[in-house]
Structure 1
Amino acid sequence: MRKDWELSIKWNVKLFYAINHRRNPFLDKFYKYFFYMGKTHSLPIYLLLYYIFTGTSAFKHLFVSLIITGIMMPSIKYIFRHKRPSSLLENVYLLEPVSLKSFPSADSAYVATLFCVSLFYGSFLLSGILFILMLIIGYGRVYMGAHFPLDVLVGYSLGIVAGL
């Protein structure tokens, strides 16, 4: 059986365990429902809200950026085929059913795309809210046991590139 490259990055595994093993009853309940906000089926809601608050040109930019993100994520997951932490490590707290591959985090990429586009068209308040949402979703992906921290960081990076 091959050893996945992310396991060889010691800080990645240590940080995963530090976040995933810091259990909190509030966060367990919070992320049980909140994680749906990062899923692709939530994107039409984000698009509609974005259109309402920022206008047509922002909507077009966001729409194209999300298509780019939507093409990049499954392509990269297919190329790397990296397993989820629960498949590679012992004692992983898993709060949601996981499928597909781990690297990179598509949820993190989508919210980073929203954040990046908001920097061009949104107000300081909107960008600030999306930045906080981005951090909450990224932390939650590791807390819930679905991703390694590196998956989230690369997802953020790809989302920002798509937003640009």
Structure 2
Amino acid sequence: MDIFLEIGWDILHFQDYLEKKYLTKGEHFFDKYGFWGVFLAGITPIPYKIIAWLAGIFEMNKSLFGAGTFIGRFPRFLLVAYFGYELRNINFSLLWDTMWNINIQLFYLINSHNNWILDKFNILLSQTTYIVIGILTLAMFAKYRDLSKRIILGLGITFLIVFLLKFGINEPRPYLSLDGVHLLLNEGTEPSFPSNHTTMSFALSTMLFKYPNTKKIGAILFIWALLVGYSRIYAGVHYPFDVAFGAILGIACGWFAMNFENVRDYLYKIFK
């Protein structure tokens, strides 16, 4: 019985510690920014209930809470109602079919225009992608230790996101779904979307371009990354949309890695 009493006292002491450390900060935050927080939660996808709970915990002024809720939620509900009425006339199935047909036509446009010289070049370019990434990462580790840490962070995040998307979406490779594919490489049954080669190439290019001492190398690597993406379509292992999304994702991951501290500090200021 004594052990449960001791645990209970520990919980009460911990609760008292939290109240002293965070309750005052939370009250100041909601006094200063509460209206805008409730307003943004009302008009954006930010979870409104969480903000509402926090507003209650930190005893936000009820008038400001009501005003922020009305001004934020009312226009949102009007927009939802309006667009819901308008969207009923849109044939999403037809829109998706159109986009998919464009994807396939672009694939055939690139994949069908081939010759033996381009075959050799694109196979070499595609197969040396990870080798180039590895060599450059090691070179940066030897010369710019701080940059190499960001590269490892950026490539790690990139790989994780691509892995989750690939097996979450599970899109079949073009050569498994289409006829007449000029296939130079075979990736088995591994999902297609997005292109990991392209994503990793653009992530590395972005990080080197953002670093002052390697900006020129990064600019050159962007050209290389574009060619890598092209080679994946030419080789028959990816659709153009796989490559396009991979390029965008790679740039985003590279930017995040190079601005990690700024993003962290910004989030810390918001939730401090």
TM-score of the aligned structures, taking structure 2 as reference length: 0.55
Kept after mapping to 1: 8 A contact 2:133/2:201: no
Q: Structure 1, unaligned stretches of length 5 or more?
A: none
Kept after mapping to 2: 8 A contact 1:108/1:156: yes
Q: Structure 2, unaligned stretches of length 5 or more?
A: 1-95, 256-272
Kept after mapping to 2: 8 A contact 1:116/1:163: yes
Kept after mapping to 2: 8 A contact 1:108/1:138: yes
* Map 1:1-164 → 2, pairs under 5 A: 9-39=100-130, 43-52=133-142, 55-99=144-188, 100-121=190-211, 122-164=213-255
Structure 1 residue matching 2:238: 3-state secondary structure: coil
Q: Distance in 2 between matches of 1:48 and 1:66?
A: 13
Q: Distance in 2 between matches of 1:105 and 1:149?
A: 9
Kept after mapping to 2: 8 A contact 1:107/1:137: yes
Structure 1 residues 130 and 44 mapped into 2: Cα distance closer, same or farther (>3 Å)? same
Kept after mapping to 1: 8 A contact 2:133/2:204: no
Q: Which amino acid aligns with 1:125?
A: K
Alpha-carbon offset, residue 89 of structure 1: 0.7
Cα distance per residue 1:78-130 (max 9 Å; x no partner): 10000000111110011011121100000000001011101211434202210
Kept after mapping to 2: 8 A contact 1:77/1:101: yes
Alpha-carbon offset, residue 143 of structure 1: 0.3
Structure 2 residue matching 1:113: 3-state secondary structure: helix
Kept after mapping to 1: 8 A contact 2:123/2:231: no
Cα RMSD over matched residues? 1.9
Structure 2 residue matching 1:82: 3-state secondary structure: coil
Structure 2 residue matching 1:9: 3-state secondary structure: helix
Question: How many percent identity over aligned positions?
Answer: 32
Q: Distance in 2 between matches of 1:56 and 1:115?
A: 17
Q: Distance in 2 between matches of 1:27 and 1:49?
A: 29
Alpha-carbon offset, residue 6 of structure 1: 8.0
If asked which structure has higher relative contact order (CA below 8 Å, sep 6+), I would say 1
The number of residues matched between the two structures is: 158
Q: Distance in 1 between matches of 2:220 and 2:179?
A: 35
Structure 2 residue matching 1:104: 3-state secondary structure: coil
Q: Give the structure with higher Rg (CA).
A: 2
TM-score of the aligned structures, taking structure 1 as reference length: 0.88
Alpha-carbon offset, residue 8 of structure 1: 5.2
Structure 2 residue matching 1:157: 3-state secondary structure: helix
